[in-house]
Each structure stands twice: as C-alpha cells, then as structure tokens.
Structure 1
Amino acid sequence: MGKVAVAGLGLGLVPQAFSIGKPLVRRNKKVGIIGLDTSHSLAFTKAFNASDAAADLGGYKVVAAYPHGSQDIPSSVERIPGYTEEIQTLGVEIVDSIASLLDKVDVVLLETNDGRLHLEQALEVFKSGKTVFIDKPISASLVDAIVIFAAAKKYKVPVFSSSSLRYMENAVAVRNGEIGKVLGAEAFSPAKLEPTHPDLFWYGIHGVETLYTLMGTGCETVQRTYTEGADLVVGTWEEGRIGTFRGTRVGKSGYGGRAFGEEGIMDMGSYGGYRPLLVEIAKFFDSGKAPVSEEETIEIFAFMQAADESKKINGQAVSLQAVLDKARREAAEIKI
C-alpha cells in the first residue's frame, strides 16, 4: 500500500448549519461498541437499548461490545471490568476482538477513551466498510486525525466525531443564525491533563468544540497563556474576530460560553447531556452524512496543537496554517 495524499483544508468563515427536519425512518440496525473504558459506552447503550426509546433513537440497539480499551491510563483501565459486567445486564454480548464484533453488527461506536488507539482501531472498522462514530478525542495527535479522515475516504466509509457539548441548545441556535453573524465568542470547560495526550486533547476539547460550534472554521493564529489555575487560549479568526477558550484545572468548573453576534448576545446556558448527540449519531447512521465536517474537526485539533506550540514559546502567536501544513506532510508519509 502506498502513501496517502491528504486533501487541503478550506477555512470558511460561515459555519456549517445543523439540519433540522423530521427524523428518518429507522431500520433495525445492530450497533457495536469498541471500548468499555468510558462512561459514554454505558450511557449510550442505555439510551439506544431502552424499551421506551423515542422515535429519533428507535431501531438502533447495541448488541455487542469489545472491552479494550486503554492499556496504560489507570483512570480508564480500572473501569473496564465493572463496565463490562454492567453492560451485559443491558443485553450486550462481550466479544474478544474487533473482528468478532464486526461480524455481529451493522454500525460502530468507537468509544475507546485513549485517542492513541483510534487510528489502529478505526482502520479495522474502515476495512469492513461499516459506518463509525468516533468519540472524542478522534485521536491523540493532529497527524492521526488527518490520517483517519484520509483512510475513511480511501475505504469509502462515513465517519464523524464530536463532543456532546456541540449540541447544547443555545449553541445550536447560534450556529443556525439566531443572533446573526458571530463576531466573537468565549467558551469554557474543565481541562484535566493526561500525560499521554497533548494538553487540551484529553478534556479541554469539550470547550474548544463549543468555541468552534459558535465561531466556525477560519482561525488564523492561536496564543495560549496560563493564569490562576486555568489555560486561556485566544484565537484570531478571519476579519479579526476573536474566540477564546478557558480551560480550568483548579476548583470547580462547568461547561458553557457566550456568543456575540450582529443581532444579539447569547449565553450557552447549562449542559443538556448526551441525548442530542445520540440523535445526531442515529441520523448519521441512517444517512451516512456527517453533521460535522472533516475540515472543522481537523481545524479543532490544529487549534489545540497550535495552543501547545504557543505554550512552548511563552504565549507567542502560532500560525494555524503552519501547524496544519506540517501535520499534513507527516500524515502523507503514513501508510494505511
């Protein structure tokens, strides 16, 4: 197998709107889960497998799960035995390999908490031709994120990745034009660190994804500073629009933000849970059309990578395009 050419990014100013319409008619599809080292696996299964699941989730049932999974992140590894036992009470069969899982299911939720494993695991799914949702983070590096999308194209498999924070009610309203063109935005979330992942990839991604839901693509430079127990990352978008992310590591912190538009200002309000994301996953499984573009997901990871680069040079501005260009060159050398 030869080298993969990775397509360029189009950094558009106008965010991609979320579709609104009647739920598609569900076919009775079997869902498989890879990774029982995250609470998402149980929460998603309980929603899809509920006897009274609403019409916008109905027809999808988790039937099999492969437990592994993080291998050296204690907070994740320690969850696997308990989650494996609990998910079986929901009618889910435990299998001993991804290959066995793929023989039993129609679509896949790749839930492994460790983003370092996602490329390897996703490739096995892609080669089977099965549609897959990859939970955050899509990978533990910008390079792997680019390669994952390149591999999905090669094997002609629909894929998307998202934090559930993207689907907060007011974030969707802003994305769909409720306050007109967004001139700037701020977002915040916890930003717990995990040594095996770049700083913001592990948990800060929730707030960064909120910021991108409000601002859309088109960030040009990133600066990162640390102050009073929190990271502050400032992105400058086209036309001088400013978006900021505050990732807290000291004290209590929630999730949220605020958008400043030509026609008003809107707070994000409280986090509404996983259900809106699961509705989008169900639509995605039906249609094969990702609700979040490849370009936006890759730029989110470029933003976080640029923030790491800025940290190394004491908060100086880093060009997002330079970070992307370097990652694309490295991605093109990876065989898939």
Structure 2
Amino acid sequence: MTARHAPPPLRFGLIGVDSPHAPSFVRLFGDGVTGTVPGGTIVSAWKGEAAQDFPLGRDRIGAFADEVTGLGVPLRATPEEVAAECDALLVVASDARTHPAYFTRLAPFGKPVYVDTRFALTSSEARAMTASARSHGCLPLAGSPKRFTPEFRKALGSGGAERIDLTGPLPTQPGHPTLAWYGVHLVDLAVAALGPGCVLVDATAGDRTTLTWGDGRTATLGGKEEWSPLTTGRITASHGIRDFAVEAGPPMLTGLLASLVQACRTGTPNVPVTEVLAIVGIVEAAHRSRTSGAPVRPEH
C-alpha cells in the first residue's frame, strides 16, 4: 500500500507514564506518517497513580509526565477520557500491580489494549483480564519488546527450537518477586522460542532457573541483579546453534510498535493469549519454586 492510499494513523493513548517507554513511544511513532514507526501516533495520555512503595513510579512519574506533555501529548484526568478519544490503548505503567485494574477499566471500550511487558503478576489476574477482553470484544496485546527485535527473530529462524539459554539483567522491584520484574523479558523470550507448554519450573539453584517443556525441551534463565542493557541468548535448533544479543534502548522498541500497529489493523493478537498466560504462569511458578525450595508445575 502506497503512502497516498495508506489508512490514517491509529490514535494511541498512554495509560500510566512512569516508564521511559512512554516518551520513547511518542518519539518513535511521531506524527504517524514520517516517524520511525509509521501507522500510529500518540494523541493523549493519563498520568497514572504511582504507589508510594514503588520508587520507580513514585520518583519518575512527574518528570516523565512533563516529558510527554513537552512532546505535545495532552494529559487527561482519567483513563476513560483517553480511551474515548483513541483507537487503541497502551498501558505502560511500570508497576505491574496496577495492570489488572487499569485493564478492567479499559476493556469495556472494546478497543485493543497493550499491557507493557509485565501483563500481570498472577495467573488468576491474567485469566480474569483475558476473560474481560473476550466479554467486551477487546483485543489484548502483550509481549516484551525483545521478542520483536531482528536479532532474536533472526536467531530463532523458522522455528524448531529445542533449547534456549538466556542471560540478562535480573533486578527486582518492590512487590515484584523473583523473575516478575526484569526477568520476565527472559521468560517471554523462552516462550516465544519454545511456545506454551512448560510443565516444570526449577528456581531452586541460585544462578539459573530451568524450565522444562512436556516434550523434554528446556530453557535456562540467568543473570546478575544489577541492571545492564544487554541480553544474550543461544538457541539450539534443528538448523544448528545460533547466538544473539539484544541491547535495551529506543531502537529495541521499534519491532514491538510495528507489531501493535499490525495487530490493531488485522484484529490478531501480536502474542497469542496462550503464550501470555504461559509467561505469567512461569513467572508465578518461579517465585513459588524459589520460596519452597522445590520445582513447581506452573498453572495453565
């Protein structure tokens, strides 16, 4: 489709702006035509409500809100006001504990809703969110931006992965146990490579968490608590062994944003709901495994 006959840019709204993704999304979309990622533009935002026990939100929300408005995006008083004037919503609030309630408020509008990286902290919350989406005709969108990068996609190839070994930063935040904060990126990549169907999560070792699929395929996840921009991986597949590295930063987000535009245009989730639920289940099981000292079967 030529630019002359392209549909008008999708109008996206930000819900919660206490994440660097908020201003980055605004810049990358731009006007929806000439931006780095064409097809969408951010037209309004709701600041969100930062919890006092969550420093990343509490200490950054004001500055990021100023940055977003400085880029020309108006702030609205409620998420409902944003939803009413947008074609799709982007929940980018840093605190995953807020995501279920925000999603519940947005789903009744029947519009696509992306929940940034950490869809929910528990399987029961994730199931309730996807059930609400089905009830209201809302398209649930999800996924770590790392799964949409060309580096990972090239290493994965056409599929057939038998094993994936991932190493990346594993910092934690209040209220987000074990892999629930940054470790969820690694879980997302593992599920993107091997699909849903993980039957056992072993987080009893101090250095690496091992995930086992029903057919014997495995993933291992590890890293240091200090944040760093680099995530590395090795995929063992029928076509051989391929290594990859993904560096965090605005360029890493372009594949994700392109997937959101395509999903909204086609009505097809950018990440299958089965994978979304699998990711949440693995993260939840990793916490139970770590605290119990035994391998755990994730909920499905």
TM-score w.r.t. length of structure 1: 0.81
Matches within 5 A, 1:225-264: 225-227=204-206, 231-250=207-226, 254-264=230-240
Alignment correspondent of 2:174: 195
- The residue type equivalent to 2:211 in the other structure is G
Deviations 1:45-102 (A, max 9, x none): 1111257315xx3242111110014222112121111111111121111111112212
270, 289, 299: which is aligned to 1:310? 289
Alignment correspondent of 1:64: 44
- The residue type equivalent to 2:75 in the other structure is I
Alignment correspondent of 1:121: 102
Counterpart CA distance in 1 for 2:2 and 2:277 is 29
Return the structure number with greater relative CO, CA threshold 8 A, min gap 6. 1
Query: How many angstroms does 1:109 deviate by?
Result: 0.7
Aligned length: 294
Q: For residue 162 of structure 1, give the secondary structure of its aligned residue in structure 2.
A: coil
Distance 1:184 1:59, change over 3 A: closer
98, 111, 130: which is aligned to 1:130? 111
Counterpart CA distance in 2 for 1:302 and 1:26 is 38
- The residue type equivalent to 1:139 in the other structure is A
- The residue type equivalent to 2:233 in the other structure is G
Alignment correspondent of 2:268: 289
Alignment correspondent of 1:29: 10
Unaligned runs of 5+ in 1: 1-20, 325-336
Alignment correspondent of 1:52: 34
Counterpart CA distance in 2 for 1:279 and 1:28 is 12
Q: For residue 269 of structure 1, give the secondary structure of its aligned residue in structure 2.
A: strand
Q: For residue 225 of structure 1, give the secondary structure of its aligned residue in structure 2.
A: coil
Query: How many angstroms does 1:176 deviate by?
Result: 4.3
Counterpart CA distance in 1 for 2:77 and 2:41 is 20
In angstroms, what is the RMSD of aligned CA positions?
A: 2.2
Matches within 5 A, 1:44-123: 44-49=25-30, 52-54=34-36, 57-72=37-52, 73-123=54-104
Query: How many angstroms does 1:103 deviate by?
Result: 2.5
Distance 1:88 1:282, change over 3 A: same
- The residue type equivalent to 2:44 in the other structure is A
Counterpart CA distance in 2 for 1:82 and 1:251 is 21
Query: How many angstroms does 1:224 deviate by?
Result: 0.8
Counterpart CA distance in 2 for 1:89 and 1:157 is 31
Q: For residue 168 of structure 2, give the secondary structure of its aligned residue in structure 1.
A: strand
Counterpart CA distance in 2 for 1:157 and 1:183 is 34
